[in-house]
Structure 1
Amino acid sequence: MSREDLMAMTRALVAHGLRGTMELADAVVRVPAASYTDPGRFEAERRRIFRRLPLMLAPSCELPEPGCYKAMEVVGVPVLLARQRDGAIAAFLNMCTHRGNPLASGRGKASRFTCGYHGWSFGSDGTLLGIASPQDFGVVEKAALCLRRFPSLERAGLIWAILDPASTLSIETALCGYDRLLAHFGFENWILFDQRTLPGPNWKTAYDGYLDFYHLPVLHANTFGRDFFNRANYFAWGPHQRLATPSKFAQRTGATDQIDLSAIPEADWPMDALMQGVWTIFPHVSIASFYGGGVRGAMISQLFPGRTVTESVTTQYYVMERPPETEEQRQGAHDQFAFLKTVVEGEDYATGRRQHEALMSGLLPEVLFGRNERGGQVFHQWVDRVLETDDADLEALFASAQPTVAAAPALAAA
């Protein structure tokens, strides 16, 4: 069914492209400026969104084999991801159960984790293996002092976890079937080429940009160009969205030219053409395809709120369908990744900081999302829904979400 969905979306994009039209939301939506600037709301978002919903913490290729681990901090929570002996992934609270000291930092390979404070040791499965000087410490039940485990799921070459050990929300339910579409990237077989971390503005100010093609030929006139497209059709699976340009053209892997999808049979439409555009995973991830060095790649942008309402942090992963085989391909991939740093850090996030600083004046009561900016409308509506939903009702909230894959418009009506 997911491939049929991809075909239906592509038919709609081609048809709108031939007509010179796009899908529009029903009305302009107004969002209170305080939703970006209020410190109390910001803390509620950190607590009720980022500590209750599944978060995409790593692409699978960042932990490619058993023994690989990654330690990270997510909205104040120390997290440890560890690839198990059987290849499964586990997510733990990265705190020794003795005094809470973090066990690991960075990335690496290890079969056990030893606390640098008192020497307690834990297996990669979270089991407490040993207590230093047990004859002096006293009697404790080791089985009750294993690492706290977070709910986690590895699907479509991506790793999710919920930062609440007691959560009853199904990660699969929260993905609303979106993971079946993402699986067509084939990320589980890709490689991690490079990554970096960038500071950014308020997390919603930053994330708005990933949901918006409207700004591309204006803000990015010196990088993408003034003739770049500014229209997008939006497809949604609950809060998760895909943005794609209404056009008959698509990029072809390994080529600098484009193909005219309207001129070839649908059965011959290549998968990368069906996956074009930007794929966002609520509440904090964006995936976009690129072809640096002629090799298919993607930038996965992982965005988290910072410690204050004015800050965020983004890790950019550049993953590739296969390793570059020549120096030209490697340089092309490096050049592509460097170009994207200029676009995001020097244009998107620099503008976002100025925008958010201005909003902090409190003199603009609301911001607008036009009919051509449905992605931002849906995003802010879901932020509000999640904030207003109790823990016990989260499962039902996502279970009731229906995908919206619009049919292609009739060409005869053009």
Structure 2
Amino acid sequence: MSRQKLMEMTQSLIDHAEAGTMELTDDVVAVPASDYTDEARFALETEKIFKRLPLMLAPSCELPEPGCYKAIDMAGIPVLVTRQKDGTAQAFLNSCTHRGNPVAQGSGNATRFTCGYHGWTFKNDGDLLAIASPKDFGTVDKAQFCLQKFPTLERAGLIWATLDPESALDIETYLCGYDEMLSHFGFDNWHLFDQRTIPGPNWKTAYDGYLDFYHLPVLHKDTFGADFFNQANYFAWGPHQRLSAPSKFVQKTGSDEQIDLTEISPQDWPIDALLQGVWTIFPHISIASFYGGGGRGAMISQLFPGKTVGESFTTQFYVMEHEPTDDAVRQGANDQFAFLKTVVADEDYTTGKRQHESLQSGLIEKVWFGRNEGGGQVFHQWVDRLIDADDAELDRIFASQKLDDQLEAAE
């Protein structure tokens, strides 16, 4: 059913391309400039979105085998993600249950974690294994001192968790069926080629760029080229969106050759043609396909707010369908990843920082999203909706959204 949906979306892109049209929203929409600069608003977004909604913590291939782990700070919360003995992924609060000191740093492979403060030791499934000098410390029930677990789900080669141990929001419900679409990438069996973390502007300023093809031939004229497409159609699953340019042509896997999809039976359309464009996962993930030296790859961008309203940081994961065994493919992937740093860090985020500094003057009251920028409109509408919702309403929003998606799929 999900492949059929991909084919329908691709056909709509072809139809728009042949008609010389694109999908437009009903009107131009304004967003208060203070939404980007107000510290109180920023604190509310951090609490109501990043500390309450499921977040994509890692691609599965970052933790490829039992014992793998990584420690990361997410919106001010120390998080430890492990691949447990049974192969499942689990996220924990990276905080010793004795005094709160983080039990792990960086990444690696370990069956246990020992706190560097007093020596309490935990298994990688979170269970407290031992405390130092137990006779001196006193009797404790170890079962009551396990690492605190976060609700965790691994699906479509991606690992999600909600950074609220008491959250009742089902992660699968939150994904609105989008995980089924993402499963067609096949990330479960991909290889993590490289990764890096780069600083950025306000998190919404940064995220706006992932939902916008309008700027491509202008801001990126020296990298992508001035003839690059600037139109996008948008497809939504709740707050999660895919944007793709109306076109009947796609790049043939592993070459510069263009394929005309109208000359091929839809049943024979290659999967990478069905997945073209940018796939965003609210509130902080962007996925886009690329080719380095002929090897099929994708960049997964993981965006988090920084410590202040004008800061963010993005970890870029370059994943590949196959681990390169050929020097040419390996060099091509390196070149592709370096090119993408230029595009994002030197062009998108540098521009975003200048934009934020300008907005901080307080002299611009509104920023605008055109009828051709539907993704940005929808994104900001969801931000407003979710920070205004209490926990009970949050559950209802996504339960209702899941039902709507099921009814649509059944039609």
What TM-score comes out, normalization by structure 2 length?
A: 0.98
Q: Deviations over 1:39-62 (max 9, x none)?
A: 000000011100000000100000
Residues 64-90 of structure 1: CA deviation (Å, up to 9, x unaligned)? 000100100001100000101110011
Q: What does the per-residue CA deviation read over 1:346-381, in whole Å, with 9 as the maximum and x for residues that have no partner? A: 000000000010000110100000000000000000
Per-residue CA deviations over 1:307-329 (Å, capped at 9, x if unaligned) read 00000000000000001121111
Residue 177 of structure 2 corresponds to residue 177 of structure 1: yes
CA contact (8 A) 1:236 1:403 kept: no
Matched residues in 2 for 1:399 and 1:360: separation? 38
Paired position in structure 2 for 1:89: 89
Residue type of the partner of 2:34? A
CA distance in 1, matches of 2:323, 2:111: 27
SS at match of 2:50: coil
Shift of 1:142: 1.2
RMSD: 1.4
Q: What secondary structure, in the 3-state scheme, does the structure 2 residue paired with 1:95 have?
A: coil
Counterpart position of 2:344: 344
Aligned residue runs from structure 1 range 255-274, under 5 A: 255-274=255-274
- Larger relative contact order (CA 8 Å, sep ≥ 6): 1
Residue 263 of structure 1, CA deviation: 1.2
Q: Give the Cα separation in 2 of the matches to 1:395 and 1:290.
A: 36
4+ runs of 1 displaced by more than 3 Å? Answer: none
User: For 2:248 and 2:400, how far apart are their aligned partners in 1?
Assistant: 33
One-letter amino acid of the structure 1 residue matched with residue 333 of structure 2: A
One-letter identity of the residue aligned with 2:192: L
| 1:335 corresponds to | 335
1:257 shift after superposition: 1.3
1:7-406 superposed matches below 5 A = 7-401=7-401, 402-403=404-405
Number of corresponding residues: 407
Q: For residue 146 of structure 1, what is the amino acid of its counterpart?
A: C
- Deviation at 1:399? 2.1
Give the aligned residue type for 1:290. F
The farther-off stretch of 309-318 and 248-257 is 248-257
3-state SS of 1:96 partner: coil
3-state SS of 1:310 partner: coil
Deviation at 1:403, TM superposition (A): 4.9
Structure 1 residue identity aligned to 2:42:
F
Secondary structure in structure 1 of the residue aligned to 2:293: helix
| Secondary structure of residue in 1 paired with 2:6 | helix
Q: Counterpart of 1:225 in structure 2: which amino acid?
A: G
Distance in 2 (alpha carbons) for counterparts of 1:318 and 1:307: 26
- Provide structure 1 residue ranges, at least 5 long, that are not aligned to the other structure: 407-414
Secondary structure of the structure 2 residue equivalent to 1:363? coil
Using the alignment, how far apart are the partners of 2:303 and 2:55 within structure 1? 10
Does structure 2 conserve the Cα–Cα contact (< 8 Å) formed by 1:126 and 1:148?
yes
What is the alpha-carbon distance in structure 2 between the residues aligned to residue 157 and residue 265 of structure 1? 29
Of residues 321-330 and 285-294 in structure 1, the stretch that sits farther from structure 2 once superposed is: 321-330
1:204 and 1:35 mapped to 2: Cα distance? 9
Question: Does the Cα contact within 8 Å between 1:16 and 1:247 map onto a contact in 2?
Answer: yes
Alpha-carbon separation, structure 2, partners of 1:248 and 1:353: 36
**3-state SS, counterpart of residue 291 of structure 1:** strand
Measure, in 2, the Cα distance between the counterparts of 1:191 and 1:68. 14
Between 61-70 and 250-259, the greater mean CA deviation after superposition: 250-259
Q: CA deviation at 1:258?
A: 1.3
